[in-house]
Structure 1
Amino acid sequence: MSTLQLPNQRLLKKMMTGGLLLTLAIMALFLFESKASAHGYVSNPSSRADLCAKGINTNCGLIIYEPYSLEAAKGFPAAGPADGKIASANGLFAPLDQQSATRWTKVNISPGPTTFDWKLKVPHATASWKYYITKQDWDPNAPLTRSSFDLTPFCNVPYKGQPSNTYSDTCNVPNRTGYQVILAVWEISDTGNAFYNVIDVNFTGSGNSDTTAPTAPTSAAASNVSTTSANITWNAATDNVGVTSYRLFNGSTQIGSTPALNYNLTGLTPNTAYNITVKAVDAAGNLSPASNTVSFTTLAVTGPDTQAPSAPTSLHVMGSSTSTTVPLMWNASTDNVGVTGYQVFKGTTLVTTVPGTATEYLVTGLTPNMAYSFTVKAVDAAGNISSASNVINVTTPNAPTTYPAWSASSVYVAGNKVTHNGVNYEAKWWTQGETPGAAGADVWKVIQ
């Protein structure tokens, strides 16, 4: 009779532990892939989150699965993520807020022209792209706060329209030395949110000295003007180094950007006058004079409107659901005349109709730990209704546990639980007056 040889207990324990860790990693991956709440991040120079996703930064937490998802209220510095939570866009990915002179990998950079490349998983209608940098004398061993930054952006690019899945800005980075942090902010135009990326950089040189702007593009012209679109073409500008892209403006408002010599304007309003100019940009960020002005009026709609809008696309959860709410967002539909509203459905039940200028809605009154499906349809003034958007399936989380509010005057001992600023904490030992979540308040640990 043969004898079955089992591994020794130590080896068996290692095998079981390794298998458990692998299972947890796979579960986390599926969890975050199914959230569908990802949007965009800076891929070059690589942001802190990007380097985490690539495995270059370590011990980053779950951001490795979601480098796209660093979103918070827009309006920085007056609004936006709280001090100490700027890198994590308000704490959902808390490990990103750890800050010291040696904690994060730095990307070498020089003052002067730098191109910032974004990867956009879910493009949105955009208001602006802004870039801030820390002060020369900031403290790299303290949490990132507004006082760490020069609060006037060194680069501010107004934008009207929706970019594609990639977008770039070439900006003149100010003079700095040593380790600095750049905060890149992508502000959405039709919601209250923005996306925040910090980039850890190390200044190594003085940059180039190209201060010569390109010549103005010439012979700009419009063709194929319809009720809601027009194609703009122009002749190339010249530059002492090289033109990298062209920006299109309606009056003083930027409405597009492209490296090509043509651009198809879409989403225009019927029977409306437009005055389009084109400017060239070089690698140093120098902007040319404007081209000749292209003036045209979109066509008016004639006859009865029987054409339905296109279906809304990319319906997704914008941020985090609560036990009773789900924030929905979608990409705008197009119509031959104009979208006047969006119908939001929970299953087959119409929840509400929002104006045609809105592309988001907070569904309320839901039940904790319950599965829901949502769709959105577009409506025009003639009552034509689009096909449904994609279906988004959401399960609301369990209702959160709350504890007595923390008080600066109360004495707490090990095991006492409190709630402060919406976060639950447990005391590790005796304490009084140490604010939960504050820098150096090691007595408190975050709990669920």
Structure 2
Amino acid sequence: MTTLRLPNTGLFRKIIAGSLLMSLAIMALLLFESKVSAHGYVSNPSSRADLCASGVNTNCGLIIYEPYSLEAPKGFPAAGPADGKIASANGAFAPLDQQSATRWSKVNISPGPTTFDWNIKVPHATASWKYYITKQDWDPNSPLTRASFDLTPFCSVPYQGKPSNTYSDTCDVPNRTGYQVILAVWEISDTGNAFYNVIDVNFAGNADTTAPTAPANVTASNVSTTSANIAWTAATDNHAVTSYRLFNGSTQIASTNGALNYHLTGLSPNTTYSITVKAVDAAGNVSPASTSVSFTTQAVTGPDIDPPTTPTALHVMGTSTSTTVPLMWNASTDDIGVTAYQVFNGNTLVATVSGSTLDYLVTGLTPNTAYSFTVKAVDAAGNVSSASNVVNVTTPNAPVTYPAWSATTVYVSGNKVTHNGVNYEAKWWTLGETPGASGADVWKVIP
């Protein structure tokens, strides 16, 4: 004999009211949610990617152009980048996954309070910041895996809101000796992604902790509308200076692999710059800044006939759906200014966005279809740059959906419904039991 289970009337009203409130909340989030365009990296203690971008680490691949783009699904350690691909955030920048005791430069560190500084290219709504460290007995000559780390973060900072272009956490670093790796994770709140940075550190008591002296005699010459030559006198160090970093004010704009001069390009006409230089040694110690040299680029005369530089590093930023692809790229430069970017699928113009926009969500696509995207930059005179690199994307199949669950419909074993974007199958007879709700064990999720 089968006993029918009817919901308690009062409880039924509460479930319906709660379901309506939840639906309204989800609709509000979908209405106001903007596409993710966040990127960032740990600049102090310098992450592996940061030291690649500054030239301290070598043979790093394309990460030297975008150290802020180490993005993978959030939820580490249950989710996130695969074992062996943690440093590269799932392999997009594969050279970062090379691992040995001597492959990467180390930053000297001590146990106790340590401040982690993030350089954020584009701020975005944030859920948390988490920091993990390798176990004392990890194997530095094997690929980084979850087994390498203590999977309880030594520092976890919940966060609500959007940080500025710089953000810092001061955390108590556990006791360790020798070479260790710290994994810093920045979790975005309204997408399924996070940014992963590994930091190679050295706890040795006799490690090099002496910073180089400040570079001297910084000069600027051959100043044009968009470029200038910068030169300086070498810094000294107790071991050796390995690179120099150039700053305009507080913003790093270039680096060298030990050269004592640099040709700055992509500058704006009729603009004043204040350049300083810092030296870096093999242990990652950074010198004080040099004295600054200021100059003003020349003003433009005559018609503008020069196109912008080509946009670089076009990539899929986030997760594509059956009908959408999120794109992002690095900014172009122009002697006057970039006013727009054109997004193409093959030879077809998809959209035009402003010159200050570096991302675009392509919509209205067809499931299970191949697309080839490029981006071009445009200036005020209508000059158009060459096309960026091509990004080939095949949209996934459209997800399977079933009739929407209804609180007033009787369901029996085998009936399938969709509720809040998730598919469910009924195990037995049910009425009014919300799929996914606590205690609603009548419903099982359809993978």
Match of 2:81 in 1: 88
Match of 1:321 in 2: 320
Cα deviation code 1:299-356 (max 9, x no counterpart): 1111111222233344333333210001222333332222111111234433221111
Q: CA shift at 1:288, angstroms?
A: 1.9
Which of residues 144, 148, 152 in structure 1 aligns to 2:153? 148
Check whether the contact 1:376–1:388 (CA below 8 A) recurs between aligned residues.
yes
Match of 1:256 in 2: 254
Structure with more relative contact order (C-alpha pairs < 8 Å, separation 6 or more): 2
TM-score, normalised relative to structure 2:
0.55
State the secondary structure of the residue aligned to 1:324.
Answer: coil
**1:104-253 pair list within 5 angstroms:** 113-114=106-107, 127=121, 133-134=131-132, 148-151=153-156, 174=173, 176-177=175-176, 182-184=182-184, 195-197=195-197, 206-253=204-251
Check whether the contact 1:132–1:184 (CA below 8 A) recurs between aligned residues.
yes
Separation of aligned partners in 1, 2:426 and 2:70: 29
Cα deviation code 1:20-64 (max 9, x no counterpart): xxxxxxxxxxxxxxxxxxxx995999xxxxxxxxxxxxxxxxxxx
Match of 1:380 in 2: 379
Separation of aligned partners in 1, 2:310 and 2:99: 43
Check whether the contact 1:87–1:197 (CA below 8 A) recurs between aligned residues.
no
Separation of aligned partners in 1, 2:205 and 2:413: 54
Separation of aligned partners in 2, 1:213 and 1:204: 15
Match of 2:274 in 1: 275
Match of 2:343 in 1: 344
Separation of aligned partners in 2, 1:335 and 1:250: 18
Percent of matched pairs sharing the same residue: 63
Check whether the contact 2:134–2:182 (CA below 8 A) recurs between aligned residues.
no
State the secondary structure of the residue aligned to 1:211.
Answer: coil
State the secondary structure of the residue aligned to 1:329.
Answer: strand
Matched, 1:309 2:289: no
Match of 1:293 in 2: 292
Separation of aligned partners in 2, 1:299 and 1:214: 34
Letter of the structure 2 residue corresponding to residue 82 of structure 1:
G
Alpha-carbon distance change, 204 to 286 in structure 1, aligned in 2, over 3 angstroms: closer
Alpha-carbon distance change, 376 to 127 in structure 1, aligned in 2, over 3 angstroms: closer
Unaligned runs of 5+ in 1: 1-39, 46-67, 73-79, 98-104, 117-124, 153-157, 160-172, 407-412, 437-443
Separation of aligned partners in 2, 1:236 and 1:151: 41
Q: How many residues align?
A: 324
Q: CA shift at 1:446, angstroms?
A: 8.4
Q: CA shift at 1:244, angstroms?
A: 2.5
Q: CA shift at 1:399, angstroms?
A: 0.5
Cα deviation code 1:41-94 (max 9, x no counterpart): 95999xxxxxxxxxxxxxxxxxxxxxx99614xxxxxxx8235456429xx99x
Cα deviation code 1:411-443 (max 9, x no counterpart): xx9999898996778999xxx99x99xxxxxxx
Check whether the contact 2:106–2:202 (CA below 8 A) recurs between aligned residues.
no
Letter of the structure 2 residue corresponding to residue 294 of structure 1:
V
Match of 1:9 in 2: none
Letter of the structure 1 residue corresponding to residue 388 of structure 2:
S
Q: CA shift at 1:209, angstroms?
A: 4.1
State the secondary structure of the residue aligned to 1:148.
Answer: strand
Unaligned runs of 5+ in 2: 1-40, 42-46, 52-67, 91-97, 110-118, 123-128, 137-145, 158-164, 167-171, 406-411, 428-432, 438-443
Q: CA shift at 1:214, angstroms?
A: 1.7
State the secondary structure of the residue aligned to 2:255.
Answer: strand
